A and B are shown apart, each in its own frame.
Chain A
Amino acid sequence: MRLVNRLLGRRSDRAPYAIFGGIAADAYKTRSLRSRLMPVPIPKQLVLPLSQNLGVDAVAIVEAGDLVQKFQLLAEADEPGSVALHAPTSGLVSSISNATVADEFGSQRLCIHLQSDGEDRAIEIVPEADYRALDHLQLLERIERAGICGLGGAGFPSAQKLSLGMKSGIDLLIINAVECEPFISADEALIRERGASVVVGAEILKSACLASNCIIVLQEDRADAIEALKKALENSSIELMTLAAGYPVGGEKQIIQAVTGMEVPSHAYPASIGVLVFNAGTAYAVYKAIADGEPCVSRITTLTGAPLQTPKNFETLIGTSVSFLFDLCGIDTTRHTGTIVGGSLMGIQLLTLDVPVMKTSNCLIAMSAAEFPPDEPELACIRCGFCAEACPARLLPQQLYAFSRAHDHEQNLAHGLFDCIECGACAYVCPSHIPLVQYYRSSKAEIRAQQRRQLQSQHWQRQFQQHQYRIKKQQDEAPHQISGDAVGPVKDDEPAKKNRSREDGDKTEAAVFSRERAKREIAEAVARVRARKAGHIASPRTDAESDG
């Protein structure tokens, strides 16, 4: 149909394009959507990692022993990649120390430990009655101050994304509520119950990045959410688009392809083609930041999995521990075999339950042996090509796998290894149960290490060349002192030239001499450095003496 339209030179308005590849995985979403969105009681202890996206740490501006109130700023963002952090409730900062965070290695990161006093006293916040009264720079500044980062999972600071987009100009703002990964239903629950706020959030984002168009995208099987959105969108310029169910149609690059038919150039941001993509949860956080004046201290997190008696979506305070949430849902520990943060296809498996929910934690899955059977042994790749059919980047996973096994990184790069978005569609369909994504990750790490080594060796080579150059210069400037001793007496006229020709003529002699010379130079340099060091240490003292 679309082909016909294209041949006739027209395109039915807002019909989605097809993405490359993709899979149809069991969704497991209904169970967590049976109950309403629930607020979580305030836990006694909150652990707030200074980096909410496991990137750059924000700088803590409170100290252990401080009493803080809800919404109070705890850490400010001072570097690109970091986001501000606010107190989710009132209480006492018990310490600022390392704690385990939600990553697959169970690593320790610097966290603010907050002991809640249960009173939930908030600092005064200023709701904004009409966001239209603010210009886009003011909006941007407030979004930044509210500590909002991408709540869909990647956690890129939203204000930075907006200002990055503004530099190149934005035609289209996409609000991504596709949520194509199995098990996650946070965005669907949010839109179903607070669709109007999401729409306002989208409008704020639209005026913050000066986009000319905005579109909210959902999967077509989310009937309740679509209905809620349609109602909310009645008097809005924002459009609604539904996509056929499939994974990973909600990936940033894929949703852009589905909506616009354009592809984001390799190694470029979507802004480079005039598109920005924000998650629906982020739009809601923006709404709260502007309309209510509340910084980002909570998020909607799906709690699901067969071992949970009442799977549901919680409005969770950032910093709440995973085990606290599981206990709220009534977990059957005998069936619980592991925990995933994120979805079942791109999420990471936690090593311990004592980790806090972060701004990026959209879903927590309690695994059971029935839903997540133990990994079957890896068999040989038969090059069936199912992975290539599934790959949304149109890579050839079977070839990348062979190159990764052979550590043939030149071929890996030629076959686009770094265009892999690690969606896991290839490994999902692999009949030989090969953990393909793991191979690609380790190849990527190897290549990065190789490049680092190369840069380092280039650096040292440059240093060495500069060193050589300095010696040469020294020689040219003072031929008597150095080369004169080494090569023997030379006449005063044209000393450097003579010296050079002499060395060329008798290389072995020069080599012998130069080794001795080098030794002497090293000794001299060491002596110089010692003298300088002694001088340095000595100088303040003498200064002090002279002052006194």
Chain B
Amino acid sequence: MQTQPSAIGISSPMQHSQRSTGRLMLLVIAACIPGVATATWYFGFGVLINIMLAASMAIILEACALKLRGRDMRQHLSDNSALVTAVLFGIAIPPGASWWLVAMGIFFAIVIAKHIYGGLGQNLFNPAMCGYVLLLLSFPVEMTSWHIPNDALVDGSSFSAFSLAGLRQSLLLSMPVFGSAQMSSPDSIDGLAMATPLIEFKMAGTGALLAAWDAGVSLFSRDSGAAWELVNMGYLCGGLFLIYKRIISWHIPCAIIATVTMMSMLFYAPDSSAVYGTPYLHLFGSATMIGAFFIATDPVSAATTVRGKIYYGIIIGLAIYGIRVWGSYLDSIAFAVLLGNFCAPALDYLCRPRIYGHGKKSRSVPTTEVEP
């Protein structure tokens, strides 16, 4: 047998598991499907159009950036990380956002927040959230208006969002270039601001909304309360799937959800007119689930030690609640996650696990680690 020179210097281990980064990323995208599908069902094609637009732009920008950085394009595109960034970004921005909004955000996410920092693995901050926050700060009005096709909101016309008319409306919202004539007429598109129930809650106070909330969920009613509730259920299912597949660990989502729940339980006052909502509203009436399972768990920018992950989750949970309730911004996942990203390197450094054979435990019987 002749040994080829390439075999020289091969280091153990010679056996490998079948997991690959590209596959992991695809599974993350797959886990988004229930949430995205529900969102599309309620909010129309705008959601999907956002994702498609973001994904195609992300791949083009990623390819360009790799080319400019002199990296092997096919090899690095196969990690599918740009795709995940695009999907999360597309989910985050309101349906019906203009194409240039998407383009600007995704450019900032992929090129500035990721590649300028040295590419995948080197970025300190979650790229999708960087893009989102840039848009939120620069275009607050556009970023908080959830444009939904007209028909989607009419009770009883349950399938109209999927009709060709609905699709056309959504397309026009995204790319007004193709139909500037219609755009001028205000009737064709309902520029309804329909944010999350939590935002409505914050804007409207308790009153009517709580009553509607108490009336329970009606699957096809298409009111935003039910919609968000189900969308969050979708992301929860996707997130549990990721934990089951051991792609993400339970520590970060659990810490976030537990913290948000604790905080909202602590401050909830049923009769007060203040903005503190019920724990349920905080968990399922906003973007908490997608934030906890999909955004905060981006491994590159999150803490990676076990204890670090828990503290990271707690910090994000506190920030989510704090910004929502006492801050000026309506929803707070992006800021909270970026705040967590700031803390992650320090958390990793401070929360290093005790190495085998080090410290006072090395002679005594080790006890199972007590997590905070």
Please list the residues of chain A having a beta carbon within 8 angstroms of any beta carbon in chain B: 3, 6, 17, 20, 23, 25-26, 104, 182, 253, 257, 261-268, 273, 333, 336, 338-340, 342, 344-353, 367, 372, 375-377, 379-386, 388-389, 392-396, 398-399, 415-416, 419, 422, 424, 427-433, 435, 437-438, 441
Contact = CB atoms under 8 A, between A and B. Distances in A.
Contacts of B363: 262-263, 265, 273
A3 B78 CA distance: 45
Nearest to B301: A383
A342 to B, nearest CB: 8
A294 to B, nearest CB: 33
B138 interface: no
A265 B361 CA distance: 9
Nearest to A426: B13
28 contacts: A257-B356, A262-B365, A265-B357, A265-B363, A333-B1, A340-B14, A344-B15, A345-B12, A351-B3, A372-B14, A376-B20, A377-B72, A379-B21, A379-B78, A380-B76, A382-B24, A384-B24, A385-B249, A416-B358, A424-B12, A427-B16, A428-B15, A428-B17, A429-B17, A429-B19, A433-B16, A437-B11, A437-B12
A388 B15 contact: no
Interface size on B, as a range, is 35 or more
Given A379-B21, A383-B121, A345 B14 contact: yes
Given A264-B362, A340-B14, A347-B14, A104 B9 contact: yes
A419 B23 CA distance: 32
A349 B19 CA distance: 23
B50 interface: no
Q: Which secondary structure characterizes the binding site on chain B?
A: loop
Interface string B56-92: 0000000000000000100110110100000000000
B151 interface: no
Nearest to B364: A262
A227 B119 CA distance: 55
Interface in B1-39: 1, 3, 7-17, 19-21, 23-24
Nearest to A385: B304
Contact of A437 (B13, B121, B306): B13
B305 interface: yes
B352 interface: yes
Given A382-B21, A429-B17, A349 B7 contact: yes
Nearest to A21: B356
Interface in B334-372: 348, 352-358, 361-368
B140 interface: no
Contact of B75 (A104, A264, A377): A377
B210 interface: no
Nearest to A345: B13
B15 A338 contact: no
Given A399-B348, A432-B21, A419 B13 contact: no
B299 interface: yes
Contacts of A424: 12-13
A409 to B, nearest CB: 17
**Which of B12, B81, B354 lies at the interface centre, i.e. has the most chain A CB atoms within 10 A of its CB?**
B12
Contacts of A353: 1
Nearest to B24: A431
A394 to B, nearest CB: 5
B87 to A, nearest CB: 16
A182 B3 contact: no
Interface string B95-138: 00000000000000000000000011110000000000000000
Contacts of A268: 357
A169 to B, nearest CB: 15
A433 B11 CA distance: 12
A396 B347 CA distance: 13
A140 B363 CA distance: 28
B299 A385 contact: yes
Contacts of B247: 384
B304 A398 contact: yes
B20 A351 contact: no
A26 B18 CA distance: 11
Contacts of B19: 386, 429, 431
A263 B361 contact: yes
Given A383-B299, A383-B300, A438-B11, A419 B79 contact: no
A404 to B, nearest CB: 13
Nearest to B344: A383
A344 B368 CA distance: 31
A394 B355 contact: yes
B357 A266 contact: yes
Contact of B12 (A352, A392, A422, A429): A422
Query: 5 shortest A-B CB distances, which residue pairs?
Result: A424-B13, A438-B11, A380-B121, A344-B15, A266-B357
A363 to B, nearest CB: 12
Contacts of B1: 333, 336, 338-339, 353
Contacts of B20: 376, 431-433
Given A380-B120, A385-B299, A394-B353, 18 more contacts: A262-B363, A263-B366, A265-B357, A265-B363, A266-B355, A266-B358, A380-B21, A382-B299, A384-B21, A384-B247, A388-B353, A396-B348, A424-B13, A427-B13, A428-B13, A428-B17, A431-B19, A431-B23
A393 B356 contact: yes
A415 B352 contact: yes
Interface in B176-227: none
A223 B361 CA distance: 35
A20 B75 CA distance: 34
A352 B12 CA distance: 17
A423 to B, nearest CB: 8
Contacts of A372: 14-15
A25 B15 contact: yes
A161 to B, nearest CB: 18
B356 A392 contact: yes
**Which of B7, B19, B348, B356 lies at the interface centre, i.e. has the most chain A CB atoms within 10 A of its CB?**
B356
B299 A384 contact: yes
Nearest to B78: A379
Contacts of B24: 382, 384, 431
A469 to B, nearest CB: 42
B15 A263 contact: no
A367 B12 CA distance: 13
A395 B355 contact: yes
B357 A419 contact: yes
A399 B121 CA distance: 12
Interface string B234-255: 0000000000000101000000
Given A3-B368, A376-B20, A396-B348, A253 B356 contact: yes
A396 B290 CA distance: 28
B309 to A, nearest CB: 8
Given A415-B352, A428-B16, A431-B23, A441 B11 contact: yes
Contacts of A393: 355-357
A392 B299 CA distance: 21
Contacts of B16: 376, 427-428, 430, 433
Given A367-B14, A431-B20, A396 B76 contact: no
